[in-house]
Structure 1
Amino acid sequence: FKGGCGTGKTTILLSRAIKLARVYPQHRFAIFVSSKKLYNQLKEEIDILYKENSNLEVHTLATFLFKLAKKFDLIADYRLFKQDYEKYLNNLIKQARNVIKNKNMFKGVFIDEAENFKHEEIEFISEFLYKTKNIFDVYYCDALNITNDLNIFKNKQDIKPDKMVYLDINYRQSKSLVDFVNKFCQNSNSYIRDLRPLINHDIYSLTKPIHKKGQDPEIIKVTDLEEQIESILWEIDYLTNKKGLDYTDIAIVYPYNKKKLKNGKTIYFQYILRKALEEAKIPYMIAEDEITKITKKVGITISNIYGIRNLEYKAVIFCELEMLYNQTISDTKQDYQINDFVGDLNKIYLALNVPTEYLKIITTFNEDSSEIIKILIKSRQ
């Protein structure tokens, strides 16, 4: 199942998994996700929707490997876990392959956020299916890969599916936001293809709106960090007092909590933002892994790109885009620079898809200093 943000991938996965688990109560099923946030969300939703559940598990790759280690007495060196997490997981995968002879555990396996899994990890998970009469569903969106493993030039050895389902109906956003995000997708695809014509597939997928038009997104230019904070507070006031939104309907999103500058100094943006909100007596909460779509919110949510994934809000104030490291490509002959630039475009794409009605982008950069801002402004025109 392939589709852009808001096309119902996780909803379809969950409904299929629960239905099949009910139809085959004597068999086991497993859902795999890449983030702890979605792991927590799915466990909460299954507790509500499938209360009699005894045969449907939810895992990240790590929780699954820890369970295997305990059950099959794999050698778990927790010192290595603290030193090198990825090396530790790879070591457990090798042990599992060598030690566990009968891996026929699940009749069905469902992988969400598959863009964040390595091909060999998906292959490893598939080894725990029944050898015949199994169900193996994979759900993904290429543009949501914000991991260090992103490689747009690598020839993917994807598992060849019996069937491909393309999802393109956007159930989340207003028509105005969908139109803007679609233009961003088209402009980003064109930008990449102009630099590397050999990349013959679109990284960013378009979607079709079903909701009413809504308000057009805004790109607000400011002169410095202080004015950016003032603009954030002004937008909060506008959204709550003019548009009738509650604080819990709003998220403030920024790339990173802090960033080290070339001059050696570090900007602690989350600290600066929190201090400003406290002085303005605006309640807020930080988007930790425990916060899911169905968590009761207290005040405005503030989050970096990684914490906001799998959440949605009526309004998003997206700020401090200056923190992104790849504003331009200094040497277009270098594949790694193009790849890193796409990684930052993916972060932008993720943030643009969090709001359902209102999007405010606040930046000190202009088209001359940032290709990212140029693409966003072009998408807004």
Structure 2
Amino acid sequence: MAYMIPETISRLASVGERVLFQTLKQYLPSDYMVLYKPEIDGRRPDFVIVGPDLGIVVLETNDYEKNALVHVDQHEWQVHTSNGVSVVENPLKEAKRSAQHVAEQVKKEDKLIVRSGKWAGQLKFEIGFGAVFTRMKTEAFIQGRLFEAINKELVLCRDEMDPEEDGFSTDRLIEKLHNMFTSWNHRWYILTNEDIRAIRYSFYPESRLSMTYKPAASYQDQYLLSRHNMTMDLRQDSIAQHLGDKHRLIRGVAGSGKTWVLARRTKILAKAHPDWNILVLCYSIPLARNLEQLIERMIGEPEDLLDLLEMINANGLRAGDQVKIRGFHQWLQNDLQTREEAIPALLGKLEKKQAILPTYDAILIDEGQEFEPEWLKLLSYVLNPATQSLLIVEDRAQSIQKRKNSLFQDIGLNFRGRSKILTVNYRNTAQIVRFAWDFYQRHSVLKHSVVQGSTKGVEIIPPQSTRRSGPEPMIKRFGSLHEEIAYIAAQIRFLRDERGIPYSDMLILYRVKDRYDVSYVDVIRRGLKAAGLPFGWLSAEDGETQLTEPTEDGIRISTINNVKGLDFQAVFIVNMESMPYPLEELEEREVSLLYIGMTRALEWLYLTYSGESKFTLYFEELARKRSSPIASETRMG
């Protein structure tokens, strides 16, 4: 999965640009960087692709259709438009000019210039260019003899860039990009991470100057205690029971039972108001499925004998009877028949009272820090104004994206005096809590923002662990990823056979799925297959075989940023040298991601690597300092 700048495409982008954006993101290697419409010294090429083995390729897109073309040649094209026939430049010429403009900008970086020899003064790498036809397939080009007017090697057609088309393949896409060069002046050159950073600096010189913290897309940590029978203290139950009516806010540290309180509160409201229409929302569909299981189980469990008799007389109470549990985008699609892109227009209609939406007597939001202001504004329209029963559960302690507006501005409700803070981590053992927090304290630029008991800003609330103990996290270095997976396979068998942990309660995490010269997921897949172990991916987003049911037996595999809201008895984080991710401008995000990954583990945590990075050097230093027990575990063979 390529590194995208920006991470999401603008709502104003054309359909074809959206398809190409998602294709490049999903199918290019993880060490490729793709920039969408970067402003480069006054010019905005549509796409700029940077890859270690590629160099730079500049792509310009258009949405011409075959029957709209009146006449084409190598210089000008006549095209039917709404205003009649227009004469436009051959699309390839625009792409070439953009590439030349990019080359001029990149040449300003001394690090990217050959210093001596035959090619002294030239770029170390080549810059290619191409034209993308988002609505025309290769067949149309052949039938219309369009390749006589435009070099076919420098053209990307619909069937070559759309995964939904029969002719699409990853290999074909990458091969096309590698052939979009008109000349090769010198020997093959592989861009280093420093080269790629220099290219990025040449496009965005301000990023070199600013070392201050800047908001970015969040990878906040949220925790779901749905799959494990954890004991909460009386405070959690008391909060759920006596939260009070109308709107409330709950913040908490990792593993503090925030989601448990939300589920308990859902049951209380459903029982107290059987006529209410209740909506429970979270960010992701996988988390929504787990949240649904937790709430249904909680609703189905009687509080006491009297409660049991009432449930029998009422033929039981099920979550589906009055409670809808959805991922936000799932709710938009299934219940409102709309999409996120249409929210601004829908809000405009609601303000003018030109639209009618369902009304919910109570709304409960998990992962509230993930919700955009427009999402919250939309929810304010579907909340019954007579009840104002809104519960937002969030974890800004892990957030690197400060909320731009207050909740009052987004929803119109004041949460002052209506918030609670949970500080005790119930999920992880004391060893994992200490291990992960020490790492966070050492590397986070926000460490000076740690406060006790504040509800303002983005302060970090330090976790207090329970007295539950377990094994120390294990650190081990290997000669290759193949050796890492072989070791992990042996540990998985030990945990299964000796500790009775099911495969479905074990998770393997990685930061990046591939590189231009190696596929990490292939190594993981082959290693587990060779060991005869069942496995599958948590999310179809990674393009792998997905384990869809929580009860389906098999080791779970995922990128770190796809496990928000989940926890497992045993977690293995592999290929640790890929963190911090060299293409990531904000190291703070990498710190947050690794902290999230480590705190997925309820009891067993393994960290393995076969290379070197800032993070692995820290863990090696830690292992040397701790003679027992981590250092001894490090020496385990």
When residues 284 and 213 of structure 1 are mapped into structure 2, their CA distance, relative to the original with a 3 A threshold, is same
2:329 equivalent among 62, 69, 90: 62
2:534 equivalent among 262, 283, 294: 283
Aligned mates of 1:377, 1:119 — CA distance in 2: 42
1:105 equivalent among 335, 354, 359: 359
Specify the alignment match of 1:121 in structure 2: 375
Specify the alignment match of 1:10 in structure 2: 259
Q: How far apart are 1:353 and its partner, in Å?
A: 1.2
When residues 129 and 361 of structure 1 are mapped into structure 2, their CA distance, relative to the original with a 3 A threshold, is same
Q: Secondary structure at the match of 2:522?
A: helix
Any conservation in 2 of the 1:104–1:131 contact (CA below 8 Å)? no
Q: How far apart are 1:142 and its partner, in Å?
A: 2.5
Output aligned runs, 1:129-278, within 5 Å. 129-142=383-396, 151-152=401-402, 155-159=404-408, 160-162=414-416, 163-189=418-444, 191-192=445-446, 204-240=460-496, 243=499, 245-256=501-512, 258-260=513-515, 265-278=516-529
Q: How far apart are 1:9 and its partner, in Å?
A: 1.0
Any conservation in 2 of the 1:176–1:213 contact (CA below 8 Å)? yes
Any conservation in 1 of the 2:446–2:460 contact (CA below 8 Å)? no
1:316 equivalent among 571, 580, 588: 571
Q: Secondary structure at the match of 2:569?
A: strand
Q: How far apart are 1:3 and its partner, in Å?
A: 1.2
Mind listing any 5+ residue stretches in structure 2 that lack a counterpart?
1-249, 300-316, 409-413, 450-455, 541-545, 627-637
2:355 is aligned with 1:355: no
Q: Secondary structure at the match of 2:341?
A: helix
Residue identity (%): 19
Aligned mates of 1:211, 1:87 — CA distance in 2: 47
TM-score by length of 1: 0.76
When residues 328 and 40 of structure 1 are mapped into structure 2, their CA distance, relative to the original with a 3 A threshold, is closer
Any conservation in 1 of the 2:346–2:355 contact (CA below 8 Å)? no
Specify the alignment match of 1:301 in structure 2: 556
Larger relative contact order (Cα-Cα within 8 Å, sequence gap ≥ 6):
1
Q: How far apart are 1:246 and its partner, in Å?
A: 4.0
Offset from partner CA, 1:276-299 (integer Å, 9 cap, x none): 11111122232237868x821413
Q: Secondary structure at the match of 2:419?
A: coil
Q: How far apart are 1:176 and its partner, in Å?
A: 1.0
Aligned mates of 1:353, 1:204 — CA distance in 2: 16
Q: How far apart are 1:138 and its partner, in Å?
A: 0.8
When residues 89 and 356 of structure 1 are mapped into structure 2, their CA distance, relative to the original with a 3 A threshold, is same
Aligned mates of 2:525, 2:605 — CA distance in 1: 20
When residues 121 and 374 of structure 1 are mapped into structure 2, their CA distance, relative to the original with a 3 A threshold, is farther
TM-score by length of 2: 0.48
What value does the CA root-mean-square deviation take over the aligned residues? 3.3
Q: How far apart are 1:221 and its partner, in Å?
A: 2.1
Any conservation in 1 of the 2:264–2:295 contact (CA below 8 Å)? no
Larger radius of gyration: 2
When residues 16 and 239 of structure 1 are mapped into structure 2, their CA distance, relative to the original with a 3 A threshold, is same
Matched residues, number? 340
Any conservation in 2 of the 1:217–1:359 contact (CA below 8 Å)? yes
Mind listing any 5+ residue stretches in structure 1 that lack a counterpart?
71-75, 330-336
Aligned mates of 2:523, 2:346 — CA distance in 1: 41
Aligned mates of 1:39, 1:46 — CA distance in 2: 10
Name whichever of 239-248 and 300-309 sits farther off: 239-248
